[in-house]
Structure 1
Amino acid sequence: MSFFGVGNPFSTPVGQKIEQATDGSLPSENWGLNMEICDIINSTADGPKDAIKAIRKRLTQSAGKNYTVVMYTLTVLETCVKNCGRPFHVSVCNKEFISELVKLIGPKNDPPTVVQEKVLSLIQCWADAFQSQPELQGVVQIYNELRTKGVEFPMTDLDAMAPIFTPQRSVPDGPEPVLVGSPQRAAVPQGSPTRHNPEQPTAAVSLPFLNFFLSLLF
Structure 2
Amino acid sequence: MLGSPTSWLQVSPLESLVTRACDPSLPEPNYALHLEVADYINKKKANTPRDAAMLIARLANHRNPHIGMLALALLDTLVQSCGYPFHLQIGTKEFLNELVRRFPERPPPFPGPVMQRILDLIHAWKEGICATSRWKEDLGNIRDMHRLLTFKGYRFRELPRNNNQSLASASNIKSAEELEAEDREAQQAKLQELIRRGTPRDLAAAQELMKALAGANPDARPDYRSQALNELNKLEQKVILMNEMLDNVDRERGEKFVAGDVYDQVASILVGARPRIQKWISDAETDDPESLDTYLQINDQINNVLARYEAYKKGDY
Query: Shorter-normalised TM-score: what interval?
Result: 0.5 to 0.7
Q: What whole-Å deviation, never above 9, does each CA across 1:95-134 have from its counterpart, x for those lacking one?
A: 22112222234389x9962222211010001011233411
Which has a greater percent of helix?
Answer: 2
Task: Name the structure 2 match of 1:124.
Answer: 123
Instruction: Tell me, in whole angstroms, the C-alpha distance in 1 between the residues paired with 2:54 and 2:115.
Output: 21
Distance of aligned partners of 1:107 and 1:23 in 2 relative to their CA distance in 1, 3 Å threshold: farther
Contact 1:12/1:50 (8 A) holds in 2: no
List structure 1 segments (4+ residues) > 3 angstroms apart after TM superposition.
104-108, 158-166, 168-171
Q: What whole-Å deviation, never above 9, does each CA across 1:109-161 have from its counterpart, x for those lacking one?
A: x9962222211010001011233411111111010122233321112134547
Task: Name the structure 2 match of 1:26.
Answer: 26
Task: Name the structure 2 match of 1:36.
Answer: 36
Task: Name the structure 1 match of 2:147.
Answer: 144
Q: What whole-Å deviation, never above 9, does each CA across 1:25-54 have from its counterpart, x for those lacking one?
A: 112221111100010111112321221232
Distance of aligned partners of 1:24 and 1:170 in 2 relative to their CA distance in 1, 3 Å threshold: farther
Q: How many equivalent residue pairs?
A: 169
Instruction: Tell me, in whole angstroms, the C-alpha distance in 1 between the residues paired with 2:160 and 2:60.
Output: 26
**1:88 counterpart (86, 89, 98):** 86
Alignment of 1:40-59 (within 5 A): 40-46=40-46, 47-59=48-60
- Unaligned 5+ segments in structure 1 are 1-7, 186-218
The structure showing larger relative contact order (alpha-carbon pairs under 8 Å, at least 6 residues apart) is: 1
- Unaligned 5+ segments in structure 2 are 1-7, 187-268, 274-317
**1:154 counterpart (132, 135, 157):** 157
Instruction: Tell me, in whole angstroms, the C-alpha distance in 1 between the residues paired with 2:164 and 2:33.
Output: 22
**1:174 counterpart (168, 175, 183):** 183
Contact 1:105/1:119 (8 A) holds in 2: no
Instruction: Tell me, in whole angstroms, the C-alpha distance in 1 between the residues paired with 2:126 and 2:15.
Output: 26
**2:97 counterpart (72, 94, 99):** 99
Deviation at 1:12, TM superposition (A): 2.2
The TM-score, its normalising length taken from structure 1, stands at 0.65
- For the aligned residue pairs, the C-alpha RMSD in angstroms reads 3.6
Q: What is the identity percentage for the equivalent residue pairs of Structure 1 and Structure 2?
A: 27
Instruction: Tell me, in whole angstroms, the C-alpha distance in 2 between the residues paired with 1:161 and 1:95.
Output: 31
The TM-score, its normalising length taken from structure 2, stands at 0.46
Task: Name the structure 2 match of 1:72.
Answer: 70
Q: What whole-Å deviation, never above 9, does each CA across 1:172-196 have from its counterpart, x for those lacking one?
A: 252698xxxx7x59xxxxxxxxxxx
Contact 2:21/2:30 (8 A) holds in 1: yes
